[in-house]
């Protein structure tokens, strides 16, 4: 099967979040199953600093954007350790920028134009590159117009008559909403701007476009697939998603075990696996405590949080319990950046508790690995979480996640209760209600079990034995691709 994967970011070329990790790993896993896989991404500024070999294909394509024609330059690379080809859509006026989607906390004003160009450039490049896809796998709002173009303008794109589409939602809250007059940039007929298709509360909605016109819909966990069919987490599209529920599939994201496994990560203090976790993790913890200036103590629970400092990630809950938490004999390490009020909170906590709170307000990939390897508990109290990757990294490193039971967190972390502890299946700690009290109760349970070293090590090892590699998820995506082809053949024969 020939699969074309389209995303707005992909490791190692560009990244703002988990989409990039998926786009850098899933195509490799699909290729390992014997399929021909190509990945299209914009040539963002960070692409040229990725240290990946990039060649110019020489292909130049005139792309209509509204009343203008803009040139797309097509470059070529490869996903590391794979035969999956990467095609980079280059147009400096759109993509040679400091941020991928915005700067200074604000989206770029021309994001509609940028991703109209990207979508049309991908479709225009497929035929001259002789890719002949069976399925085009689109991801998030930035690619939402691709299924629309294929369904409404098939005559414009050579070699795509038999291509089906899968549209994966990574986070429904980011919808790609634009002013209605920007419809003119798309080259689509105005008749499509109606409440059944592209219009959403008077706006042009790229996410809705993808959901309406794609052959099948994916999202990144079974629980999130159910949650987005409800008013609470459906972002106003819950009725549409419920209507298409038979085409909606939830598949938990995977992680790259070559990049995220303590048995071979080069940046951590000691390598370890499930059999040697006690000694290896102790060495990594001591290294991390020394690195951040904490007293080096093996008996004190070391808690961690990595990610965006944002209300969605539960930072209001964490702020509410911070003082109570730090009354305990614990240490806390935070890596991330986001809203200024949380920066101020952390700076205040560091000032008041320099021997037990440390924060790096930015991002470092090496430090992320080192924290996962050295921490005992990982705090992830998200208000919603389509899938989440940090809890999977934590499980792989023997770091027990404390999570709100939502989305992929509920699907991947087994709550420690008397039954699961007795069965040896517990891997972390759940709480249900998005309240400080519920979060505190879960943290308390984690701290209590930490003092039971035998029970704690059973939980740690159960988490490490789980298989969260992409090989599991790739098989599920393969079946969906096959279902799309069967669906198209049935439609064509009717």
CA distance 411 to 124: 39
- The HSE-up count of residue 134 (CA atoms within 13 Å, CB side) is 16
Sheet strands side by side (includes 216-219)? 55-65, 68-78, 85-90, 36-42, 2-6, 135-139, 164-169, 216-219, 248-250
| Residue 60 CB neighbours (<10 A) | 11
Sequence-ordered list of residues with C-beta below 8 angstroms from that of 297, at least 6 positions apart, any chain: 289
Q: Is 411 exposed, middle or buried (0-12, 13-18, 19+ CB in 10 A)?
A: buried
- Asked if 2-254+471-493 and 277-467 have one fold, the answer is yes
CA distance 253 to 220: 6
pLDDT tens by residue, the chain, 494 residues = 999 999 999 999 999 888 999 999 999 999 999 999 999 999 999 999 998 999 999 999 999 999 999 999 999 999 998 999 999 999 999 999 999 999 887 999 999 999 999 999 999 999 999 999 999 999 999 999 999 999 999 888 888 988 999 999 999 999 999 999 999 999 999 999 999 999 999 999 999 999 999 999 999 999 999 999 999 999 999 999 999 999 999 999 999 888 899 999 999 999 999 999 999 999 999 999 999 999 999 999 999 999 989 999 999 999 999 999 999 999 999 999 899 999 999 999 999 999 999 999 988 989 999 999 999 999 999 999 999 999 999 999 999 999 999 999 999 999 999 999 999 999 999 999 999 999 999 999 999 999 999 999 999 999 999 999 998 899 999 999 999 999 888 877 76
pTM of the model: 0.93
Position 491 scores a pLDDT of 79
Kindly list the domain boundaries of the chain, sorted by start residue: 2-254+471-493, 277-467
Three-state SS for the chain is: CEEEEECCCCCCCCCCCHHHHHHHHHHHHHHHCCCEEEEEEECCHHHHHCCCCCEEEEEEEEEEECCEEEEEEEEEEECCCCCCEEEEEECHHHHCCCCCCEECCEECCCHHHHHHHHHHHHHHHHCCCCCCCCEEEEECHHHCHHHHHHHHCHHHCCCCCCCEEEEEECCCCCCCEECHHHHHHHCCCHHHCCCCCCEECCEEEHHHHHHHHCCEEEECCHHHHHHCCCCCCCCCCHHHHHHCHHHEEECCCCECCCCCCCCCCCCCCCCCCCCCHHHHHHHHHHHHHHHHCCCCCCCCCEEEEECCECHHHCHHHHHHHHHHHHCCCCEEEEECCECHHHHHHHHHHHHHCCCCEEEECCCCHHHHHHHHHHCCEEEECCCCCCCCCHHHHHHHCCCEEEEECCHHHHHHCCECCHHHHHHCCCCEEEECCCCHHHHHHHHHHHHHHHCCHHHHHHHHHHHHHCCCEHHHHHHHHHHHHHHHHHHHHHHHHC
- For 176: left if phi > 0, alpha if psi spans -120 to 50, otherwise beta; the answer is left
Give me the phi and psi of 438, to 5 degrees please.
-70, -40
**Are 2 and 137 a contacting pair, CB within 8 Å?**
no
- CATH assignment of 277-467, given 3.40.50.2300, 3.40.50.170, 3.30.360.10, 3.40.50.2000? 3.40.50.2000
Q: Which two tokens stand for residue 52?
A: 């990946």
**pLDDT tens-digit map of 168-205:** 999 999 999 999 999 999 999 999 999 999 999 999 99
- CATH assignment of 2-254+471-493, given 3.90.1150.10, 3.20.20.110, 3.30.470.20, 3.40.50.2000? 3.40.50.2000
What are the C-alpha distances in Å from 156 to residues 98, 138, 159, 187?
Answer: 33, 19, 10, 11
Q: How many residues does the chain have?
A: 494
Position 96 scores a pLDDT of 97
């Amino acid at each position: 099967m020939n699969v074309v994967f389209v995303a707005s970011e992909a490791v190692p070329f560009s990244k703002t979040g988990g989409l990039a990790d998926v786009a850098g790993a899933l195509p490799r896993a699909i290729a390992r199953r014997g399929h021909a896989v190509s990945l299209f991404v914009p040539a963002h500024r960070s692409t040229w600093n990725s240290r990946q070999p990039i060649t110019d294909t020489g292909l130049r394509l005139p792309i209509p954007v509204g009343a203008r024609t803009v040139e797309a330059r097509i470059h070529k690379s490869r996903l590391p350790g794979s035969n999956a080809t990467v095609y980079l859509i280059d147009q400096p006026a759109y993509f040679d920028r400091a941020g991928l989607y915005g700067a200074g906390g604000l989206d770029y004003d021309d994001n509609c134009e940028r991703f109209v160009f990207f979508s049309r450039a991908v479709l225009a490049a497929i035929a001259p590159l002789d890719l002949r896809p069976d399925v085009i796998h689109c991801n998030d709002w930035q690619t939402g117009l691709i299924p629309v173009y294929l369904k409404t303008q098939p005559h414009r794109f050579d070699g795509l008559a038999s291509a089906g589409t899968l549209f994966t939602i990574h986070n429904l809250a980011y919808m790609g909403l634009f002013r209605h007059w920007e419809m003119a940039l798309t080259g689509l007929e105005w008749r499509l701007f109606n409440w059944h298709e592209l219009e959403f509360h008077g706006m042009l909605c790229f996410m809705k476009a993808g959901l309406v016109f794609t052959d099948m819909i994916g999202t990144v966990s079974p629980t999130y697939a159910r949650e987005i069919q409800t008013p609470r987490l459906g972002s106003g599209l819950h009725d549409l998603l419920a209507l298409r529920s038979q085409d909606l599939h939830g598949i938990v994201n995977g992680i790259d075990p070559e990049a995220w496994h303590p048995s071979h990560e080069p940046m951590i203090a000691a390598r370890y696996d499930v059999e040697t976790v006690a000694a290896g993790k102790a060495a990594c913890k001591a290294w991390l405590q020394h690195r951040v200036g904490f007293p080096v103590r093996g008996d004190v629970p070391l808690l961690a949080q990595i990610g965006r400092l944002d209300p969605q990630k539960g930072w209001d809950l964490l702020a509410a319990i911070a003082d109570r938490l730090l009354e305990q004999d614990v240490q806390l390490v935070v890596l991330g950046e986001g809203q200024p009020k949380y920066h101020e909170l952390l700076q205040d906590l560091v000032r008041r508790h320099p021997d037990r709170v440390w924060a790096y307000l930015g991002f470092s990939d090496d430090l992320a690995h080192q924290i996962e390897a050295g921490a005992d508990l990982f705090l992830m109290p998200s208000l919603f979480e389509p899938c989440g990757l940090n809890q999977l990294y934590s499980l792989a490193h023997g770091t027990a996640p404390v999570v709100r039971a939502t989305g992929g967190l509920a699907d991947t972390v087994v709550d420690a209760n008397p039954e699961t502890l007795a069965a040896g299946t517990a891997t972390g700690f759940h709480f249900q209600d998005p309240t400080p009290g519920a979060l505190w109760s879960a943290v308390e349970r984690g701290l209590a079990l930490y003092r039971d070293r035998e029970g704690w090590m059973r939980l740690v090892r159960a988490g490490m034995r789980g298989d969260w590699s992409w090989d599991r998820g790739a098989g599920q995506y393969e079946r969906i691709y096959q279902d799309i082809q069967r669906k198209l053949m049935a439609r064509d024969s009717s």
